[in-house]
Every structure is written in structure tokens, then in C-alpha cells.
Amino acid sequence: SINKCPFCDENYSAKLLINLQQLQSSRIEDQFEICCLYFAETSIIPDGLSKNYPKVIDFVQLPEHVNKLYSELWSIVTKNTESSFRNLAIENYRKTAIGKFELFQPGYYGFKGSYTILNTLVTLFIDSKKLSSNMTLSLKPLEYLGEVLVPETAIRLIAQDRNITLVEAAEVMKDSIGFGMYVHDMEDDDISNLEDCINRIE
């Protein structure tokens, strides 16, 4: 059944009606969350699906795909390959690390993809002692991984997924951030694991 949202006066579906009925608080933050869910369900997700953004991603196999990109990523670390993400990260290095990490989501891979990619990169570059602090310029290791290597990895994964160029993949990554945030969000275990991952870096 279709009902009117009391917060934004838009029609919402039975699925959102359940969320609304479960909402016990009148806090504006909670009301806003319902409106955001409505927008995601009726606009962001359908738009992403029309562009063939994947609703299902095999996150178990994702680390293996990231591992295969090691040589390309190492070329970025050693500055043999130019990185627009590195340039942008250096320009904005005064922001907090976590805040910047949230800005650089890997497109339709979403928050869950961010963690999976970051965790794999920590194994490749931090645990192995490959990435030294003098290689990350003015950025901290976490900032460098989150702002440079995560998006560089993401555009390569997207390019492989869709058989397109890195430039085209960067546009897809930017366009599909909202889709990824809603469709491939992190679960509770991922959040706990992310904290452990950050601790390994710091």
C-alpha cells in the first residue's frame, strides 16, 4: 500500500511503512533517516540498477582481486604512476583521517567494499612493512591508504567489472557512491573489524 510520509509529504511503500512503525523517537535525525531511506528506495537504487551497478558483490573473493592489483598500486606508491587521488589527498591533508576516509567511498562497492579493500591493502602494504612513512608524504599511513590506494583500487576493480577505461571508471565510482552506501553498507561485524584494521595501521 502507498502512504504519505508525515515528514516530507512523499508517498512511501509498505517496506518504509514498517520502518516508520518501528520508529519510536520523534528526533529529527530519525525522521530524516526515514526520508533518506525513501529517497534511496525510490530514486538512488533504481537509478543504480538501471546503470547495471551490482546489487550482489562477492566480498569473499574481493581481496583476491585486490591482491592482483599489487604491482599497479606499488607503482603509485613509488610515484612511477601519477595519481589524482594522491594529489587531492595532499591538498586536503589537514582534515581528520576518518572524515577523509568517509569521503572516498569506492563507488558501488560501498562501505563494505571500503573496509574489505582497506583491510587487504593493510595486509599488502602495512603488515608487510612495504609502505614506510616517508613514502606517504605529508599523509599518515591510514590517510594514504584510505584516500589514495582505496580509490585507486576501486577504479581498477570497476574498470575490470565493466570493461572500461580508468577515466570512465572514476566517473562511475563518483556516480555510484550513493548506490553503494545503501546497497552495500557495512554490518556490525564489519564496523568492529574496521576499528581493528585502523589500529593495525596506527
Whether the pLDDT of residue 98 is over 50: the answer is no
Using a pLDDT cut of 70, give the percent of the chain over it.
68
pLDDT in tens, 175-190: 998 898 888 887 767 6
| Spatial separation of the C-alpha atoms in residues 79 and 18, rounded to whole Å | 51
Bridge partners of 3, per DSSP, are: 12
12 has pLDDT over 60: no
d(CA 123, CA 136): 17
Lowest mean pLDDT among 9-18, 127-136, 192-201: 9-18
Beta-strand ranges (E) seen in the chain are: 3-4, 11-12
Phi-psi region of 79 (alpha: psi -120 to 50; beta: other; left: phi over 0): left
d(CA 67, CA 55): 23
Tell me the three cell numbers of residue 65. Answer: 582481486
pLDDT tens-digit series, residues 105-120: 899 999 888 889 998 9
Integer CA distances (angstroms), 118 to 38, 77, 105, 115, in order: 30, 15, 11, 5
Confidence at residue 51, expressed as pLDDT on a 0 to 100 scale: 93
170 pLDDT higher than 70: yes
Pairwise CA distance, residues 11 & 77, whole Å: 49
| Across 157-167, average pLDDT | 96
Supply the DSSP string of 163-186, one letter for each residue.
T--HHHHHHHHHHTHHHHHHHSPP
pLDDT at 121: 93
Confidence at residue 173, expressed as pLDDT on a 0 to 100 scale:
94
The answer, yes or no, to whether residue 34 has pLDDT greater than 70, is no
Cell of 92: 586536503
Taking only the tens place, the pLDDT of each residue in 41-95 is 777 888 899 999 998 999 999 999 999 999 999 999 998 999 988 888 777 654 5
Give every CB contact of residue 181 below 8 A, 6+ residues apart in sequence.
105, 110, 111
**Between 127 and 14, residue with greater pLDDT:** 127
Share of the chain above pLDDT 90, in %: 33
